[in-house]
Amino acid sequence: MNPEKLTRDVCAVCAQVFEDCLLYDVTPNKQTLRLLQNECLPVKSLPTTYNLQLYHCAILQLHGMRLLDSIADLQMCSKCWSALTKKTPVLPKDVIANFQYYGISELPDEVKEAILMASPFEVMLVALCHATVITHHYQSKPL
Structural domains counted in the chain? 2
Average pLDDT of the segment spanning 8-29: 92
Q: Are residues 85 and 134 in the same domain?
A: no
Q: Are residues 119 and 96 in the same domain?
A: no
Q: Could you write out the DSSP letters of every residue in 38-100? A: -TTS-GGGS--SS-TTTTTT----GGGBS-SSS---EEE-HHHHHHHTSSS----TT-TTTTT
CA distance 21 to 78: 11
Range of the domain at 37: 3-101
Q: Are residues 74 and 143 in the same domain?
A: no
pTM, whole model, 2 decimals?
0.74
Q: Are 57 and 36 in contact (CB under 8 A)?
A: no
- Mean pLDDT over the full length of the chain: 85
CA dihedral sign, ordered 44, 130, 13, 116:
positive
Average pLDDT of the segment spanning 90-103: 86
Q: Are 40 and 94 in contact (CB under 8 A)?
A: no
Identify the pLDDT of residue 83: 93
